[in-house]
Chain A
Amino acid sequence: MTTRNTKVMDRFDVTSRLVRKLTHEEAVIGGIGNTNFDLWAAGPRPQNFYMLGSMGLAFPIALGVALVQPRRRVFALEGDGSLLMQLGCLTTIATLAPKNLTMILMDNGSYQITGGQATPAAGVADLMAVAIGCGLSSSVWAADEEDFDRLVDQSLTAPGPTLIGVRIDDKPGVGATRRDPVQIRERFMIGLGVRQAV
């Protein structure tokens, strides 16, 4: 898809724009690698979950949170290579259709973190079209940063889940998440009000 009329954006900038909007203890699931590194770098929040492995599971984890906490807005940040590992989850999300789920796909057509190799989808597949084909009718590329802001705002009152595609450049993540799985999980559960801090 070389003719997409969308601006190539900066992942950290887009992630920071999202995090600045969060004022209602919204949950955010950061996918493996750069996606969660930039979420970490955008500033710690107890409602952030940083996925350290399990490539491709950011959207399914977010779906689980969204299903059991229907009054909380849940965001998921995922990379294009990760989504390609678990495309089938788009159909599950379309079937269950939680209203409180906003998914953001950071697409640079490459496995940046492993050396920038092109994904098999690069240049041939349109992942928003794939998602629409999977039944997620509100799947759209953000034209630029302002459009991204608008699409995020719009998703908050949408009647179903939203997927926002963001074309990004090939820069590495800005930060590096502290890799302590139990601490990440426990903080997240406290952030979601499931557990009390001791």
Chain B
Amino acid sequence: MALADGRASPQTSLNHGADDKAWDAVVLQALKRNDVRLVPYVPDRVLTTLIKSLHADPFFTTFATAREEEAVGIVTGAWMGGQRGAILMQTSGFATLANVLASLVVPCQIPLIMIVSERGTLGEFNYGQSLVCRTMRPVLESLAVEHHTMTRLDELDFIVDRSIKQAVATQAPVALILSPLLTGGKVFER
């Protein structure tokens, strides 16, 4: 019985590493370690646990914005005022950002950390979501914005930690895409 309880199911082994930390805890710790304090977001189902833990931790100033662009503006102002920030959003939210990336973040060299929960692939049930997902990487590539798709828990801390450091050191934005392979994604429940 004890043996059976101790054995992780495939689902939990996807979400928990050797140190037993879930992906959202790894992301939170990496933000904290790199002094990224300001985290505005437009929510997503997959991001719920991360958003909850950010709110619960007084280290972070975290709040919802009405649009993703607005969050970009806030973090840009905060960076210029001396504080690091990251924004959280879903794929469809990223799709609203081409103009502000091209006219503010990239030309002004703002180290904007974008954490994007990826919808539209690996089991998407909404055709529109799958189409908007296909616009994300071409937009990032057209602006030569660094981006990583995070699929594995054992690589997650390395990618997030190093990417934040690189963004700040090179004064360039980065998109960190949370794959359903890492988070489980959002599935059709019926």
Contacts and interface: CB of A to CB of B under 8 A. Distances in A.
Contacts of A185: 80, 108-110
Dominant SS at the A interface? helix
Interface string A70-103: 0000000000000000111101100110000000
Q: Which of A56, A65, A66, A68 has the most CB of B within 10 A?
A: A68
Interface residues of B, number: 33
Nearest to B74: A64
A182 B108 CA distance: 5
Interface string B40-79: 1000000000000000000001011111011111111111
A189 B76 CA distance: 11
Contacts of A95: 63
Interface residues of A, number: 39
Contact of A57 (B78, B79, B81, B104): B104
Contacts of A62: 77
Interface stretch (B4-12, B17-25, B95-103, B160-168): B95-103
Given A53-B100, A67-B61, A194 B82 contact: yes
Interface of B: 38, 40, 61, 63-67, 69-83, 85, 99-100, 102-104, 107-110
Interface of A: 27, 29, 49, 51-69, 86-89, 91-92, 95-96, 181-182, 184-185, 188-189, 192-194
